[in-house]
Amino acid sequence: MRADHWLLGYEDIEILPQHAACFLNLCRSASYPYLPLRRTCGEGMIVRCRLTTASRLRRDCAVRGIGLRLLRRGGLPTLTHRYRARFGLLIGALLGALLLYLSSSVLWDIRIEGTQSVSEQYVREQLAACGLTVGTPLRDTDTREVENRMLRSADRIAWISVNVKGTVAYVQIRELQAPESAVDDGIANLVAACDAQIVELKPISGSVVVEVGQTVRRGALLISGIRDSATQGYRIIGAQGEVIGRTEESIAIQIPYAVEQKVYTGAEKCEKSLIFFGKSIKLSKSTGIMGGSCDTIYMMENWALPGGVSLPIGVLRTTVREYCTQTVERTREQAYDEAMVALNAALRERAQDALLLSKTVRVSYSPTHCTLLCEYSCLRNIAISQPFYVTGQETATE
């Protein structure tokens, strides 16, 4: 099919067999442009012409008595007329054309690599402050300028690389590592972090000054960083190693009977916004002013292709819910259950670097509180580094 036929519309017209010769004479005498002809099985002809030519052709054939029959009408004008009542299809076509145009001129996605302790959200916020966000025109994207601004403003990023491929920005970062607490030239003693009974010694360097079974107080010297040699005299070395001690510790948990509880009143407002390439377009808005205390809840629904590829288009739903606070009285049993939950959580946190051996829990009730006192015994490394400084000496290594 010729392109002009589809764009301007066309008609397929059948010429009756007995009028075929007259039709050819008409085309020659009226100087019609070339019309594609093909014969039918009944010695007739089928001609295809544009809509404007077809109307003129029918008039001339009617004057000369040439019989015609319309077989088919097609092309873009016919298609548009057929779906004229479906206005949404036109809007969809326009949006599709706009999306195709924007897809090649703006940034669709930002992919971040190298995050460990910092979150991707933090990196995206810093990039947005430096001018790189979804929806940014590609012609306005200066990756080197973004990198320089990020290194100046983001205090948790030590190195960054931004590369734009197509409509996707690939960001690689290296986080700024906090300097480890170090001892000057490794010169340090190991001392007790708490009161304990020594169970096991694991020295790496230094002079051990305690024995297994000995009870030490907090701050007591465990492994010295100075070694006395009969042949070389005193040598300064960094004390390293572990000292496993049995410690007696306690945790107190106090839960009040009366507690302030948040209760929603049922009044709320909801707004919807279309997020289109980083731009926000409000779709709906609730009127009225909310009084009292409110919670604001944001819910983003991103659209995606069937393959899971995220699109820079979505709907942001913002809900504002009003609440008030009420004083709720708990029973002793409820306060006790909540105290046990808090106690177990605290024990799990403290047991991350220790081995729990035994525990004893005592409960007491006052007119206003439920109190749990947990006394437990555990094994942990009690040695901590304590630096010292000596002038006029050289550090020795083993």
Q: What is the pLDDT of residue 392?
A: 55
State the Cα–Cα distance between residues 34 and 26, nearest whole angstrom.
13
Q: How confident is the model at residue 390 (pLDDT cuts 50, 70, 90)?
A: low
Which pLDDT tens digit goes with each residue over 263-295?
888 888 888 888 776 677 887 766 556 667 888
Q: From 156, 152, 160, select the one nearest 178 (Cα to Cα).
A: 156
**Hunting for tokens 């000496």 — which residue is that?**
393
Residue 99 inside a domain? The answer is: no
pLDDT value of position 182: 38
CATH number for the domain spanning 129: value is 3.10.20.310
Percent of the chain exceeding pLDDT 90 equals: 25
Q: Which domain holds residue 317?
A: 259-328
- Which stretch of 37-41, 48-52, 160-164, 318-322 has the lowest confidence by average pLDDT? 37-41
User: Is 151 a residue whose pLDDT tops 80?
Assistant: yes
What pLDDT is attached to residue 183? 38
Whether 53 is covered by a domain: the verdict is: yes
User: Residues 98-108: pLDDT tens digits?
Assistant: 766 666 777 87
Q: According to the model, what pLDDT value does residue 86 have?
A: 64
> What is the count of structural domains for the chain?
5
Average pLDDT of span 299-306: 74
Mark whether 317 and 336 lie in a shared domain: no
pLDDT in tens, 185-235: 468 899 999 999 999 999 988 889 999 999 999 999 999 888 776 666 677
Pair (320, 375) in one structural domain = no
Dist CA 354 CA 74 (whole Å) = 82
Contacts of 133 (CB under 8 A, 6+ apart): 107, 110, 124, 127, 278
Whether 127 is covered by a domain: the verdict is: yes
- Tell me if 96 is assigned to some domain: no
Residue 374 covered by a domain: yes
**In the prediction, which pLDDT does 179 show?**
47
Q: Is residue 101 part of a domain?
A: no
Look at residues 8, 79, 71, 19 and name the one whose alpha carbon lies nearest to residue 43: 19
pTM: 0.47
Would you give the DSSP letter of residue 174?
A: E
The count of other CB atoms within 10 Å of the CB of residue 143 is 15
Q: By the 8 A CB rule, do 7 and 78 touch?
A: no
Assigned domain for 351 exists: yes
Do 111 and 170 form a contact (C-beta atoms < 8 A)? Answer: yes
Residue 367 lies in a domain: yes
